[in-house]
Each structure stands twice: as C-alpha cells, then as structure tokens.
Amino acid sequence: MKKMTDEQLLKRVLFDKERYSIVVDNDVVWVQDNEKNSNDDDFWTGFNEYGYELIPTIFEVIGVKAEFV
C-alpha cells in the first residue's frame, strides 16, 4: 500500500472489511492487508497517528464531528 492519510486508510478498511484489518499494539496502529503474505513489503501500513490523536479522525470518517483539544 502506498502512503495514505489516516482518513484514506480508514475509508479503505470501511469499504473492504473482508480484505483489511486494523491491528492495535501499545505504540502503533496499522492496517493489515489480509490478501498479502506477511513477507510482502505492503502487508501492513501504519497510521500517521495513534492513540488519542487518531480518535478524532476515526469519528470524522464515521460521520461524527470531533475535535482534538
């Protein structure tokens, strides 16, 4: 996967839920392509933000106004 904005990554997952999964670790959140092998370079793509910084983007993508203060 080429580098995308967090919003683009979230929309990709929402559009094709069978193909993509979101994996959450303690210090990173990434999108995993379930059609790729773990040895492929584009098997996963990390979000630019994670934790509380990513939450407003998630809400915005699902249609809820959100603000990070």
DSSP code string of 5-63 = -HHHHHHHHHH-TTTEEEEE-SS-EEEEETTS-TTSTTSEEE-S--GGGTHHHHHHHTT
**pLDDT score of 37:** 85
Give pTM, 2 decimals: 0.79
pLDDT 10s digits, 20-41: 999 988 888 899 999 998 888 7
CA atoms within 13 A on the CB side of 44: 14
What is the identity of the amino acid at 7?
E
**pLDDT score of 2:** 61
